[in-house]
A and B are shown apart, each in its own frame.
Chain A
Amino acid sequence: MTAVEVQQTPTAPEAAAAPAGTGGLLRRVLGRIVVGVLAVVLLVFILGPLVWMALVAFSKRWKAPALLPQSWTLDAWRNVFTTTPLGHAFMLSLIFAVAATLGSALICLPAAYAIGRSNFPGRRVILLGLFATNAFPKMGLFTSIATLFYGLHLMNTALGVVIVQLLGTVVIMTWIPSAAFAAVPPSLIEAARDAGAGPLRVFFTVTLRLAAPGISVALILAFLACFDEAQGSYLVGAPTYITMPTQMYSLVENYPEQAAAVFALVLTVPSVLLLLLVRKHVMGGHLAEGFQLR
């Protein structure tokens, strides 16, 4: 099935919206109202907590039943930037996440290419095996990993933290890019070979170019997974390396509500920025495509 058919004129909707007398009109109005109410509920459900938290970050005095703070302040922001190790934790998070993402790309992308573009025996087993790593509960895995890391002297090392973060990205970094590689039409590659380009050149000018959106989605999701990883990084890195999310856990318990809110907002910024970059591709189905087992 091709994408062309999907992009036909949206006819079913039109037929659905067909007026059918006054009874139909009443039903349509009722339908509109129901949809509207549900939309508002969804909006509050998803965005409500975030908006509420943002308000907390700027509030000075907020007594319970009020829906808005009584007075506002930027004190919490000043406090967070001066008294918590925000900058240090942020830099540490960034370095670890970038290192783990690059490592993951280096290790997984060739595999993704192999899985996506050839049919060697056992490729499904590999995909499923990698997926199975997700099935073992993270906490249990980390405690066992700690055991191994003690043996390998990786505890409390930067490399240990990077490895732990990298492990969480393997599925993302193989499944999504392999689907992207598989989706490159063979005819385009053949056409490039036909035009006289060598295999390497074809790979860089055609295959990689066409798979780029899928790969970038995977890269950014992997980066975010690393950036947000808390438990493993804590178990392996603490107390030497405290990243932002680990800091967040202790902040939530030990600092005033406002400070936690500010910290949370700051921690959200890189994710939101990065995901806005690839939003189109994520929505466009590269993520979904990556999770169909072929």
Chain B
Amino acid sequence: MTTAPGSDRSDGLRLSGISKVLGGRTIVEKMELQVSPGELLCLLGPSGCGKTTTLRMIGGFLNPDAGRLTINGVDHTHSKPERRPTAMVFQNYALWPHMSVAKNIGFGLKVRKLSADKIRQKVDWALDLLGLQHHRETMPARISGGEQQRVALARALVLEPEVLLMDEPLSNLDAKLRVQVRETIREIQQRLGITTVFVTHDQEEALSIADRIAVMNNGRIEQLAAPAELYARPRTTFVAGFIGTMNTLDVGPAGGGVPLDDGALLPCDTFSGAAGDVCWIRPEDLQITEADHAGSVRAVVLRVIPRGHYREVLLQSHGSTLRAFTDGEPDVEQIVGLRATNALVYADDALVQDDEPARPGRAVRAVADSGDRG
């Protein structure tokens, strides 16, 4: 895809105030998003949150009802899919069953009226890049899911798009293959330095592949941050609940700890903020100690679930059930001590941070509406 005149390679993809209503329902609401050149951005969220709709608007398969969409400075808000410098990898790969692998990859080049030589050269490059040379003349139906996925990727990359779009590209692969292909995707994406938007509902996938993640809910971006930041400081209870596991205690911090069900205090080292209505604690932020260890609260082990190199422990402490990750090997019904190293404090579903006071009301509807994920 040749760069359009007046384009600015350094601008990347920019969505300003993009909205979409489908069937009377607002699917995407005033979305603001900027993806830098060479960045891999994940749109993450439950089904029905608007992530795929957003991707389809970027690809040109849907027209936004409001807002503006530019790619490297060129307005593409309403241009047709075939006129956009984007290439999409579809969820079910969407390989044309009547064309061989090479024909699938070369189709876009043929449409662009490249010479046969040039097409062969570029197709060869793509086949080499994804290790598909031996399947050159094979029909898509005759190759495995992982290979189909790679063909779909090759078909998109061969067009040298300014923005690569991927719509849950791994959802049809089995667990092991998923990890493998995901690494291939990341490696090639970084090697080619290609701006990428990647849609997924799998948080682990997003965390391991993305430069930045936009967590979406009900048509809005709840939080846009790098994976580590997103995990450590989920800005809303929705994000906190969606990413990783959480112990959700419906009380604010008090007296240097978190009150449990019968009022006893779970000691905690640090809090994200001083006051709020709920305290959420990551299982890895709960430490299991010897019973009656100083600065701990008594708990009884209910269940131990082996997770390979660590164990997930279900504990009962003063009426509250808590979940902790540990390297130790506690026994069921053993009495242990329990303390927290860090708790995230939320007020009105927004994270209370000491340097940034909570903004009440911002994310209330997010949680209220999250029941109708379709």
Contact = CB atoms under 8 A, between A and B. Distances in A.
A11 B78 contact: no
A16 B60 CA distance: 11
Nearest to B97: A1
B62 A14 contact: yes
A15 interface: yes
A19 interface: yes
B81 interface: yes
B80 A11 contact: no
B22 interface: yes
Question: What bracket does the count of chain A residues touching chain B fall in?
Answer: under 10
Interface string A26-41: 0000000000000000
Contact of B78 (A5, A9, A18): A18
Interface string A1-27: 000010001011011001110000000
B61 interface: yes
A12 B61 CA distance: 7
A19 B61 contact: no
B329 to A, nearest CB: 41
Contacts of B92: 5
B337 to A, nearest CB: 50
B56 A11 contact: yes
Contacts of A15: 60-63, 80-81
A272 B198 CA distance: 53
A9 B52 CA distance: 12
Contacts of A20: 78-80
Given A14-B61, A15-B81, 13 more contacts: A9-B22, A11-B56, A11-B61, A12-B61, A14-B62, A15-B60, A15-B62, A15-B63, A18-B63, A18-B78, A19-B63, A19-B78, A20-B79
Contacts of B80: 15, 18, 20
Contacts of A14: 61-63
A96 to B, nearest CB: 46
Interface residues of B, number: 11
Nearest to A19: B78
Interface of A: 5, 9, 11-12, 14-15, 18-20
A178 B233 CA distance: 60
Sorted nearest first, the 7 A-B pairs with minimum C-beta distance are A11-B61, A15-B61, A18-B63, A18-B80, A15-B81, A14-B62, A18-B78
Interface string B57-87: 0001111000000000000001111000000
A12 B60 CA distance: 10
Contacts of B78: 18-20
A5 B172 CA distance: 14
Contacts of B22: 9
Nearest to B83: A20
Contacts of B56: 11
A5 B60 CA distance: 20
A24 to B, nearest CB: 9
From A11, A18, A19, A20, name the one whose CB has the most chain B CB atoms within 10 angstroms.
A18
Nearest to A12: B61
Contacts of A18: 63, 78, 80
Nearest to A1: B97
Contacts of A9: 22
B145 to A, nearest CB: 15
A9 B27 CA distance: 13
A294 B80 CA distance: 39
Nearest to A16: B80
A20 B56 CA distance: 18
Contacts of A11: 56, 61-62
A45 to B, nearest CB: 33
From A14, A15, A20, name the one whose CB has the most chain B CB atoms within 10 angstroms.
A15
23 contacts: A5-B92, A9-B22, A11-B56, A11-B61, A11-B62, A12-B61, A14-B61, A14-B62, A14-B63, A15-B60, A15-B61, A15-B62, A15-B63, A15-B80, A15-B81, A18-B63, A18-B78, A18-B80, A19-B63, A19-B78, A20-B78, A20-B79, A20-B80
